[in-house]
Amino acid sequence: MKTSASPLKWLASREGLYYLALALLLVVILPLALDPFRLNMVGKYLTYAFVAVGLVMCWGKAGILSLGQGVFFGLGGYCMAMFLKLEASTPEATAIQSTPGIPDFMDWNQLTELPWFWEPFHSFAFTLIALIGVPVLLALIIGLAMFTRRVGGVYFAIITQAIAAILTILIIGQQGYTGGVNGITDLQTLMGWDIRTDEAKTLLYFVCVGLLFLCLFTARFVQNRKLGRILVAMNAQEMRVRFSGYDVAAFKIFVFCLAAAFAGVGGALFTLIVGFMSPSFIGIVASIEMVIFCALGGRLSLLGAVYGALLVNAAKSGFSESLPELWPFLMGALFIGVVLAFPNGLAGLYQTYVMPLEARLFRRRTPTPPAAPATGRKDDGKPFDPMIDHFSPEKS
């Protein structure tokens, strides 16, 4: 059995150094170089990185393209927003309303009592469970309905896009229960702690960084185990994996739920950082933008997804500030140009041009692996098939 490398040995490896470089950038360089306002913006960008990391696992590794990840991002955000809004809607704070003790938009829409599905969000513990559980539950329902019927490819992408559109319309239409098109706004405190101060925003930034690395290491743990190899094999040869005895639908449901959990955490952090949540972050446009983060960074690279989310949103903010009338066209041109010139994203660009320079600089030599037997058979005389050898249920 192959033993895993020690943490210190891994940190000294090339992959470990890449993670250390990202940690140095996020934990040391950016907090020292940016003022609290800009650092808060970077924190907002990092919440999108949660979705991009999930898409690397879902799309890049397993080949499941979802154009509705904004749904899970928004559900996590709404769960957190409901808790924060209830905390701000105490009878004392809402004494001037017709019905004190309920959110202001409910009073404006002439509701006289708190809806039943809002009641559990008085509890912070329930909210923490719900911001992951609700997106995962919806992903589980979608996965059971789609993957067990072997719906995939472009059909699955279209269905997820339709779900994003339907949920957006539903939230906007139920204004008395969800805040409508404005969403849930004016969120000020978390358990009595004012989240609008610079100190709070800085602390939330570091919490976001810590949870992002937790998601990165979780995704890395999955992809480096047998489960991750099966996901890659499904992407390449789904029928061969199915004929090897594996339940392909179960693996697809798992990775889809994992991506939904990451997105839910990102959405909850987004609500804390910006102080509101609206249906605009659930719709089709937002979901497609999230796929672009992953594609630009490299859909096979976990770290590339983080850099993709940072760079796209930084460019979006920069263009909107300097060229407010032209920034949508500039962003569109940037996306098209990058996809055409670098189809594998930033990670592919790095692998093609930078890694060869590193190899020359440090004069690293990679030993040539031994040639396979000419007979194409293993020592036991049985035919060798790389798919069956690595992914057969007999070899666990």
Name the band, by pLDDT with cuts 50, 70 and 90, for residue 85.
very high
Name the band, by pLDDT with cuts 50, 70 and 90, for residue 2.
very low
pTM for this model (two decimals): 0.86
DSSP assigned state of 189: E
The winner for highest mean pLDDT among 249-253, 283-287, 359-363 is: 249-253
DSSP assigned state of 34: S
φ, ψ for residue 131 (rounded to 5)?
-65, -20
Tell me which residue of 219, 71, 64, 70 sits closest to 146, measured CA to CA: 64
The total of other beta-carbon atoms located within 10 Å of residue 46's CB is 25
Q: What is the dihedral of CA 232, 237, 238, 241, to 10 degrees?
A: -80
The total of other beta-carbon atoms located within 10 Å of residue 274's CB is 19
d(Cα 272, Cα 77) in Å, to the nearest integer? 8
Whole-number pLDDT of residue 324: 75
Name the band, by pLDDT with cuts 50, 70 and 90, for residue 384.
very low
Q: In the chain, how long is the greatest CA-to-CA distance? A: 85
List % helix, strand, coil for the chain (3-state, nearest 5): 70, 0, 25
Tell me which residue of 8, 172, 151 sits closest to 74, measured CA to CA: 172
Residue 388 has pLDDT above 50, yes or no: no
Higher-confidence position of 309 and 375: 309
Pairing of strands 193-194, 189-190: antiparallel
Whole-number pLDDT of residue 392: 44
Whole-number pLDDT of residue 369: 56
Q: What is the pLDDT of residues 17-67, one digit of tens each?
A: 889 999 999 999 999 999 999 999 999 999 999 999 999 999 989 999 999
Whole-number pLDDT of residue 383: 43
Name the band, by pLDDT with cuts 50, 70 and 90, for residue 127.
very high
Q: Worst-scoring range by mean pLDDT, 147-156, 228-237, 373-382?
A: 373-382
Region of residue 70 (phi > 0: left; psi between -120 and 50: alpha; otherwise: beta): alpha
d(Cα 74, Cα 277) in Å, to the nearest integer? 7
Domain range summary for the chain, segments of one domain joined by +: 43-362
Q: What is the mean pLDDT of residues 99-103?
A: 89
d(Cα 166, Cα 100) in Å, to the nearest integer? 32
Residue 358 has pLDDT above 70, yes or no: no
d(Cα 141, Cα 155) in Å, to the nearest integer? 17
Q: What is the pLDDT of residues 276-297, one digit of tens each?
A: 999 999 988 889 889 988 888 8
Tell me which residue of 287, 314, 309 sits closest to 298, measured CA to CA: 309
Quote the radius of gyration of the chain (alpha carbons, Å).
23
d(Cα 81, Cα 272) in Å, to the nearest integer? 8
- 383 forms beta bridges with 377
Are 269 and 206 contacting, i.e. CB atoms less than 8 angstroms apart?
no
- 184 forms beta bridges with 277
Cα 54 to the center of its chain, rounded Å: 4
Q: State which amino acid sits at residue 135.
A: P
Whole-number pLDDT of residue 299: 82
The total of other beta-carbon atoms located within 10 Å of residue 149's CB is 9
Residues in the chain: 396
Are 276 and 183 contacting, i.e. CB atoms less than 8 angstroms apart?
yes
Residue 375 has pLDDT above 70, yes or no: no
For 284, residues 6+ apart whose C-beta sits below 8 A from its C-beta are 67, 70, 161, 164, 165, 168
